[in-house]
Amino acid sequence: MARKRIATELEVLTKDPLGDCSPTLVNGEMFHWQVSIHGPPGSPYEGGLFFLNITFPADYPFKPPRVHFTTLILHPNISSSGSICLDILDARWTPALTISKVLVSICSLLAEPYPDDALVVELADLYRSDRAQFDRTARDWTNKYARFV
């Protein structure tokens, strides 16, 4: 069941791409994807190209995929190891969710961080107290680590 569901989701994303998200299979393996995401316009990530690694469990969609950034990014909801603090990848996952909905949520998180549920408390504090400095620093990281497009 998992393979069929994943293949269907890949087909949907390929035929009707989500704006600036592009999935590819890693080594032709249906259960392992790499997704590129362009930084949202108007955000400090604009112009950057970020990569995510997505691994689907054998019991997908009953268990959530594991998703993490492989591109370094300065963000209060994303750890230095690329872990993402997103409730639909954990406690709020349901089989009705799709990888498209996950990617839309990640793009939304890039456009507007959620400092109240931060993985990196110091960045959440900076985001709240000095948004301009946060944006400058995040933009510097984007220019340094994301493949600039």
Residues with catalytic roles: 85
Give the residue carrying structure tokens 């994807």: 33
Sequence letter at residue 138: A
d(CA 139, CA 41): 12
Sequence letter at residue 80: S
| Residue in 41, 36, 48 with CA at minimum distance from that of residue 139 | 48
| Residue in 53, 20, 35 with CA at minimum distance from that of residue 149 | 20
